[in-house]
Amino acid sequence: MTEVIRYGIVIPTIGRPSLGVLLRALDQAATVAAGPEKVIVVDDRTGEGPPLDVGSTALDLQVVPSGGKGPAAARNRGWRALPADLPWVVFLDDDVIVSSDWCERLRSDLAPNDAPGRDHVGASSAILSVPRVPGRRPTDDERRTIALDGARWITADMAYRRDVLDALDGFDERFPRAYREDSDLALRTVSSGWTVAQGERLSLHPLKRGPWWLSVRNQSGNADDALLRAKFGPHWRSRIGEGGGRMGRHVAATSAVLVFVATVLHSVTHQPGRIRGVALGSGLVWAALTAEFATPRIRSGPPTPKEIALMIITSAAIPPVAVYHRASAAWRWRSVPLWRPQADT
């Protein structure tokens, strides 16, 4: 007889229609194999509004409010609302779709780690699949979602031991966005001596759509990068399996455009001949760095006039916005000490 794996599920949501799709998929998966003992849907909407619609479900489901404080705080509210004797907590995003055999695969993923001597495994990650649009290259908007395919430690579908969450006090609520809060928890997990196992269960993450300026607005995530750097040092990117990033080139492009603007304004009231070379040089540096940034983004997407124009515009706008968020957050988190594991974890 297969050992029963006891777990609960936490789903933070802002009430998107995709929540109903996920809950129906969970209902179906729970009929194939032993489902969760409890599902906590965390209503992270802000302000007063109608009750969250979770539809009709056979799951033992409870809705708890979190006050619109962001996904890290919502997940903390959720796992703490689960029965304390459940050894595993599974986090799902409200826009994923679990496979019909997800509960069975989850049980297979967690069962080996429930065995004696396997308590060093603190978490289990899923396989996240993002569909492509056939017949063309993805847009920049679509590539942001595709980047989740195969990404490390994504809490779109991630199981943690309750003991790990208790020991590490869950998610760091200083991360206000759905960005880096999962990497932070996983880094603290592995730094404390636990490992993260790769599971075989599958979740589908549909392509997202957003406004054309979303890539610029998303540069606010550089503030979360600054917090990770403050907590884990300059090599945090390699520890989570990422490359070096573009911040150095963003700083150079931003500096060049600031020098260009300053010299042009200075020339209005002073002798323009003396600073013409500075203005020309800084303008060329800015143009070259913008072209270097835009070119691979253009090549990666469909060659439509609209997409090309958006890549040029956003490639010019992203560097100063990214630098602003990174610099302001680096100052804000300047006193954060390097994170050290507790002696008893």
The tokens for 190 are 């592995």
State what percent of residues in the chain have pLDDT above 70: 96
Together in a domain, 293 and 309: yes
- Check pLDDT > 90 for residue 118: no
In a domain, 1, yes or no: no
Together in a domain, 59 and 160: yes
The pLDDT tens digits of the residues spanning 77-86 come to: 999 999 999 9
Listed residues 210, 233, 248: the one ending a domain: 210
**In the prediction, which pLDDT does 273 show?**
60
In a domain, 2, yes or no: no
- Segment 214-229 shows an average pLDDT of 96
Number of DSSP helices (H) and strands (E) in the chain, helices first: 12, 8
Together in a domain, 276 and 196: no
Q: How far apart are alpha carbons 272 and 124 in whole angstroms?
A: 63
In a domain, 37, yes or no: yes
Place of tokens 């549909």: 206
**In the prediction, which pLDDT does 263 show?**
87
In a domain, 69, yes or no: yes
Together in a domain, 93 and 191: yes
Q: How far apart are alpha carbons 252 and 345 in whole angstroms?
A: 42
The tokens for 71 are 């996904």
**In the prediction, which pLDDT does 79 show?**
98
Listed residues 158, 185, 210: the one ending a domain: 210
Phi-psi region for residue 150, left (φ > 0), alpha (ψ -120 to 50) or beta?
Answer: left
Listed residues 191, 210, 229: the one ending a domain: 210
Instruction: Give the range of the structural domain holding residue 216, as residue numbers without chain letter.
Output: 212-345
Together in a domain, 192 and 252: no
Q: What is the CATH number of the domain that holds 206?
A: 3.90.550.10
- Check pLDDT > 50 for residue 1: no
> Quick one: angle between helices 247-269 and 305-332, nearest 10?
90
Q: How far apart are alpha carbons 47 and 45 in whole angstroms?
A: 7
Q: What residues have CB less than 8 Å from 74, skipping those under 6 apart? A: 12, 42, 44, 66
Q: How far apart are alpha carbons 91 and 79 in whole angstroms?
A: 9
State what percent of residues in the chain have pLDDT above 90: 77
Looking at the structure of the chain, the number of domains it has is: 2
In a domain, 110, yes or no: yes
Together in a domain, 240 and 252: yes
Mean pLDDT of the chain: 92
Together in a domain, 193 and 257: no
Residue 108 CA: distances (Å) to CA of 66, 160, 199, 307: 32, 15, 8, 43
Q: What angle do CA 166, 170, 171 make, to 5 degrees?
A: 175
Q: pLDDT band at residue 345, thresholds of 50, 70 and 90?
A: very low
Together in a domain, 205 and 328: no
- Check pLDDT > 50 for residue 64: yes
Together in a domain, 46 and 155: yes
In sequence order, what DSSP letters do the residues of 182-201 get, joined into one string? HHHHHHHHHHTT-EEEEEEE
Together in a domain, 200 and 218: no
The pLDDT tens digits of the residues spanning 238-281 come to: 999 888 889 999 999 999 999 998 888 877 666 666 677 888 89
